[in-house]
Amino acid sequence: MSESAPVRRHSWAEPYKIKAVERIRRTTRAEREEALAQAGWNTFQLRSRDVFIDLLTDSGTNAMSAEQWAGLMLGDEAYAGSENFFHLKQAVQDVYGYPFVVPTHQGRGAEHIISQVLIKPGDVIPGNMYFTTTRLHQELAGGRFIDVIVDEAHDPLDESPFKGNVDLVKLRRVFDEYGADRIPYVSLAVTVNMAGGQPVSVANVRAVRALCDEYGIKLYLDKTRIAENAWFVRQREAGYQDAPVRQIVREICDLTDGAWFSGKKDALVNIGGYLALRDPQVFEDARNLCVVYEGLDTYGGLAGRDMEAMSIGIRESVDEDHLQARVGQVEYLGHALRDGGVPVVLPIGGHAVFLDAARFLPQVPQEQFPAQRLAGEIYLEAGVRSMERGIVSAGRNAETGEHNRPRLELVRLTLPRRVYTQAHMDVVAEAVLAVWDRRAAVRGLAMSFEPKHLRFFQARFTPLA
C-alpha cells in the first residue's frame, strides 16, 4: 500500500511474515485455578509459563524485526562513548527533532531523572490523566499531579475522537491558581494510557503550547506511544489525512520542550528508554543524575546492543503499514467484543482494548475490586492474561491515605506488537464472551496484602466467593 492510499477498514494484513516462533502452552482449568491462587489473584504475579495468550502489556513484549536482531550483533559494549549511543541519538534527532538524549534503562528511569531535575517540593504538575509511574516519580520529587484531561476521557461510552485532549479551561484554572513559580511543567502524554489508549489532537497540543507560553510554563511530553497517536491524528483530525505519520510525530515534538520515552512500546524493543531534551542546562543536570542512578550517560543502564535495537525500532515505529496493522488488530479485537455486547471503552484505543468492569460486574462494588476480579476470571476461563486498571492501580492519595477512586474501573487487554495473530484474537474474544455469559455469578475480592508503592504490581487478594 502506498503512503497516500485511502485507509479502508479490514483491508490490511500484517506487513511481515514470521521467521521464528515461540511455543505457548495451553493449561487446564485446574492448573489455572492453582496458579491464580498462588499468584494471590494478581495477574502480575503469575508465571508466564502458566499463561496461554499474554495480553498483560505491550511493554517490552514486542517481536523485533530481523534488522533489529542483526543490530544486536553491532553492539559496541564500551563503557564510554559506545557507537550505538550515537546511532540512538541520531535516530532521536531524525525522527523527533530533539538535540539532546540521555539514555535510561526504561521509561521510569527517565521519569525519575526529569522529575528530580525539574520539580521542587510544593510544586504542582498538571497533566492529561495520571500514569502510575509518572505520577509516583512526580510525588517522590515533592510534587502533586493535577488532572486536567477533558471530562469525556472519564466516560467509557463517549465516542469523541480525541479523548486524550487537555481541557484548556481546567489548565488555565490551575495556571491561575498556582502560577509559573509552582508549576515546573505541564505533563502531556500521547496517547493516554489510563484513559484507554486515547489520542490527543495536534490542535490541542498547539493550544496547550500557546497557553504555556502565555504563562511562561514549560511543556514536557510522555511520547511513549506517539506513533500510535500520530496514526489516529491521520485518521481523525481534519487536515492530516494525507500527512505522513513521521511529519505528525515531528509536529507534536516540535511543540514541546522535551520528552521522556519508554522504548518498550512504540520502539519495538524489549528494554530501553531515554530523555530527549532541548534546554542545555536541563540536559546537563539530567546527564549528571544519569550517572548516579542509571550508568554513564552514553549507556544509561543499557547494553550497546539494546541501544542499537532501539534506534532501529524508532525508525520502524513510524512505518504506516506497521501502524495500520498494529492499531487495526486492536480494533479487530475491540469490535469483536463490542459486537458481542461486552462493555468496552470507546473508541477502541491504540494499544489495548479496555473492558468496562463497572458495567461488566455492576453487582461488585468498587471497594471489592471488580476489575481485579474480572482479570482473574478471564485468566481462569482460557489462560488469557490481562491487567487491572481501576481502583487498585489508582493507589492511595499521597496526603490523606484514602483509596483514590477513579471513575474508570477497567481491565486492559493489551496487544504486544507483531506477536499474535487474528486467531489469537478470536480465542481472546471467545474467552471474554464466556465470562460475560456467566457474569451474574461473579463476586468481588478482598485485598490481603498491600505494598507501599505501585501496589497493583505486588498486591494479593482473596476471592469473596
Q: What string marks each residue from 204 to 223 as x (binds ligand P61 by CB under 6 A) or -?
A: ------------------x-
- The backbone region for 417, taken as left when phi is positive above 0, alpha when psi lies in -120 to 50, beta otherwise, is beta
SS3 48: helix
Q: Put the strands of the sheet holding 144-147 in their side by side order.
A: 100-104, 273-277, 258-262, 218-222, 185-189, 124-127, 144-147
Stretch that binds ligand P61, among 4-12, 19-27, 132-140, 143-151 (CB under 6 A): 132-140
Nearer to ligand P61, 182 or 460 (CB): 460
CA distances from 343 to 156, 351, 371, 411 (A): 9, 18, 13, 11
Tell me, by CB under 6 A, how many residues bind ligand P61: 18
Q: Which is nearer to ligand P61, 84 or 262 (CB)?
A: 262
Which of 42, 84, 187, 193 lies at the binding interface for ligand P61 (CB under 6 A)? Answer: 193
Can you give 91-156 as a three-state secondary structure string? HHHHHHCCCEEEEECCHHHHHHHHHHHHCCCCCEEEECCCCHHHHHHHHHCCCEEEECECHHHHCC
401, three cell numbers: 491515605
Q: Which amino acid is at 228?
A: E
Of the candidate residues 68, 82, 84, 106, the single one contacting ligand P61 (CB under 6 A): 106
**Least distance (Å) between residue 67 CB and ligand P61:** 22
DSSP string spanning 401-420? -PBP--S--EEEEE--TT--
Shortest gap between Cβ of 124 and ligand P61 (angstroms)?
19
Smaller CB distance to ligand P61: residue 395 or 444?
Answer: 395
Residues 52-91: x where in contact with ligand P61 by CB under 6 A, - otherwise, as a string? -----x-x--------------------------------
Among 32, 89, 108, 209, binds ligand P61 (CB under 6 A): 108
d(CA 337, CA 353) in angstroms, rounded, equals: 9
The residue whose grid cell reads 511474515 is 17
Answer for which of 68, 229, 262, 372 binds ligand P61 (CB under 6 A) is 262
Calculate helix-pair angle for 83-96, 245-254, nearest 10 degrees: 90
Note the residue count of the chain: 465
Strands of 292-429, DSSP E: 352-356, 384-385, 387-389, 410-414
Lookup: cell for 276 = 530527549
Among residues 189, 357, 361, 413, the one that binds ligand P61 under rule CB under 6 A: 189
**366 touches ligand P61 by CB under 6 A:** no
User: Minimum Å distance from CB 76 to ligand P61?
Assistant: 23
Residue from 84, 128, 132, 298 binding ligand P61 (CB under 6 A):
132
Shortest distance, CB of residue 11 to ligand P61, whole angstroms?
Answer: 29
Give whichever of 201 and 386 is closer to ligand P61, judged by the CB atom.
386
**What residue is closest to ligand P61 based on CB?**
107
DSSP state of 361: S
Burial of 122 (C-beta count, 10 Å sphere; 0-12/13-18/19+): exposed
Contacts of 169 (CB under 8 A, 6+ apart): none
User: What is the C-alpha to C-alpha distance for residues 142 and 136, in angstroms, rounded to an integer?
Assistant: 10
Site membership for ligand P61, residue 43 (CB under 6 A): no
Report the distance separating Cα 438 and Cα 17, nearest Å.
38
Q: Least separation, in Å, of the C-beta of 269 and ligand P61? A: 10
Nearest distance in Å: CB 177, ligand P61:
26
Q: Which of 74, 104, 87 is nearest to 311 (CA)?
A: 87
Compute the radius of gyration of the chain from its Cα atoms: 21
Options 128-136, 307-315, 337-345, 371-379: segment touching ligand P61 (CB under 6 A): 128-136
- Shortest distance in whole angstroms from residue 145 CB to ligand P61: 13
Catalogue the active-site residues: 79, 131-132, 222, 265, 389, 456
Report the residue from 40, 75, 107, 390 that binds ligand P61 according to the rule CB under 6 A.
Answer: 107
Beta carbon of residue 71, minimum distance to ligand P61 (angstroms, whole number): 20
Q: How far is the CB of 17 from ligand P61 (least distance, A)?
A: 27
Is position 198 an interface residue for ligand P61 (rule: CB under 6 A)? no
For position 317 contacting ligand P61 by CB under 6 A, the verdict is no
Nearer to ligand P61, 196 or 436 (CB): 196
Which residue number, 59 or 204, has a Cβ lying nearer to ligand P61? 59
Residues lying near ligand P61 in the complex (CB under 6 A): 57, 59, 106-108, 131-134, 189, 193, 222, 224, 262, 264, 273, 387, 393
